[in-house]
Structure 1
Amino acid sequence: MKIIVLGATGLVGRAVVAALEPRHAVVPVSRTSAIRADLTDPASFDALFDDPADAVVCCAANVPLRPLAALTGEQALEDLRGKLLGQVALARRAAEHLTGGGSITLTGGTFTEPIAGSGLGALVNAGLEGFVRSAAVELPRGLRINVVSPGWISETLEAMGEDGGRGTPVAVVAEAYRALVEGDANGRTVVPR
């Protein structure tokens, strides 16, 4: 398969590319790559689909932790435009251009218990899960859509000086993306463990 991976230069994106490359033709995409895309600029998606592709994987999305009291309306809109609305726009564009039977895999997030500053992220992640569940029944040509919702990544925790054992290794997270791209799941939220 030809698979477009957005966010290919980040920790998760690099691991997803490594998991897919042995069996597929992977097109790595970032805001600085030869083929560029930015979730906050849906017009940037046009170049992604100049040539036919079988799948698109988005690892580019995040919402920073921000205390509710310090969250401005503009910050909230910016986060919604990127992680939620940007991925919805990407999925819509992919649905128009992917080959029949293709796959769209988005990125959500999950935490086992609420943490300070995660309110907007929780809203965005719940919205993505609902979108994927509902969009799955509408996609044309046998296309599938799913979302991977990792919690803390072990390597991220370690880089922050925290206990990496509280997270999920990035290789395990990447395997969840690979399994969704190569499998037959549709409308699912997968929490890698």
Structure 2
Amino acid sequence: MVVNQFRPSLLAEPLAQEKLAGMKILVVGSSGIIGSAVANALSERGQDIVEVTHSGEGLTVDLSDIASLKELYDKIGKLDAVVCAAGVAQFGPLEELSDDDFTQSIENKLMGQVNLVRCGIGQVTEGGSFTLTSGGLSQKPAAATTAVSMVGAAVEAFVKGAAIDLEGRYRVNVVSPGWVAESRIQIGLGPMPGIWARDLAEYYIDLVEGLQTGQIVQAETAKPDGIP
């Protein structure tokens, strides 16, 4: 685990402590491997979870459509925190990636999360937080991951800048997961080296319920017992 602490939060600790339980938290991507683990873990801690998916029954949203994001916030009303565990970016060798591949990656994984924060200002109660998701490829690219690495790194840069602009009002952080064990199994690999989604969820909990802002939290392995 590596934590890149960019700036400490200036939010008052008593305010954060008052909201350690019973917070109304939007989890975007709640049907996915990571999102479902995060939603379940927060719910077990007494938080009021609003689950949102891309399609299906219940609340849905299209991250690439800012009108869809605004409509979602209007439906939900006031929130205490937002977690995004969604976002699509295209894999493929650079010479095979089309303009559409890059556009889709930018509009969904990058601008979807950027606009989730922008549209959430005023909808999330001041003193609340936004926790986004990038990915290990943002800092450790591999073959055929140019678009994925690019937008993930941009999400991390956005978080550092937004944390400054929103300091004292909102906290903004990002989790950068490594290989998720369940995802490895889905594509026919062994679960390790990877991190189980239930262990990954602990990093999101720390950011939602903590005081930090402007942090890029690399989550490649489970946290050692007793380490906050």
Give the TM-score of the pair, scaled to structure 2.
0.80
Percentage of identical aligned residues: 38
User: How many angstroms apart in 2 are the aligned matches of 1:67 and 1:127?
Assistant: 19
Could you list the per-position Cα deviations for residues 74-117 of structure 1 after superposition, in whole angstroms to 9, with x for gaps in the alignment? 11111110000111011111123110100101110114743211
The number of residue pairs the alignment matches comes to 193
SS in 1 for 2:82: strand
Corresponding residue for residue 27 of structure 1: 50
1:171 partnered with 2:198: yes
Corresponding residue for residue 37 of structure 1: 61
Corresponding residue for residue 161 of structure 2: 134
Higher relative contact order (CA 8 A, sep 6+): 2
User: How many angstroms apart in 2 are the aligned matches of 1:141 and 1:93?
Assistant: 18
User: How many angstroms apart in 1 are the aligned matches of 2:160 and 2:32?
Assistant: 26
Which of 85, 101, 123 is the aligned partner of 1:97?
123
Corresponding residue for residue 92 of structure 2: 66
Q: Tell me by how many angstroms 1:34 deviates.
A: 2.1
Corresponding residue for residue 157 of structure 1: 184
| Matched AA of 1:160 | I
| Matched AA of 1:147 | V
User: How many angstroms apart in 1 are the aligned matches of 2:161 and 2:185?
Assistant: 36
Could you list the per-position Cα deviations for residues 116-160 of structure 1 after superposition, in whole angstroms to 9, with x for gaps in the alignment? 111111111111111100110111662100011102101111121
Given that 2:90 and 2:102 are in contact with CA atoms closer than 8 Å, whether structure 1 keeps it comes out as no
Change (3 A) 1:190 1:57: same
SS in 1 for 2:125: coil
Unpaired runs of at least 5, structure 2? 1-22, 222-228
User: How many angstroms apart in 1 are the aligned matches of 2:153 and 2:140?
Assistant: 14
Corresponding residue for residue 25 of structure 2: 3
User: How many angstroms apart in 1 are the aligned matches of 2:26 and 2:78?
Assistant: 10
| Matched AA of 2:60 | R
User: How many angstroms apart in 2 are the aligned matches of 1:113 and 1:102?
Assistant: 30
Q: Tell me by how many angstroms 1:171 deviates.
A: 1.1
Higher Rg of the two aligned structures: 2
Change (3 A) 1:113 1:105: closer
Given that 1:3 and 1:55 are in contact with CA atoms closer than 8 Å, whether structure 2 keeps it comes out as yes
1:119 partnered with 2:142: no
Unpaired runs of at least 5, structure 1? none
Give the alignment of 1:173-192 within 5 angstroms. 173-192=200-219
1:54 partnered with 2:75: no
User: How many angstroms apart in 2 are the aligned matches of 1:147 and 1:113?
Assistant: 16
Change (3 A) 1:69 1:144: same
Corresponding residue for residue 109 of structure 1: 135
Corresponding residue for residue 113 of structure 2: 87
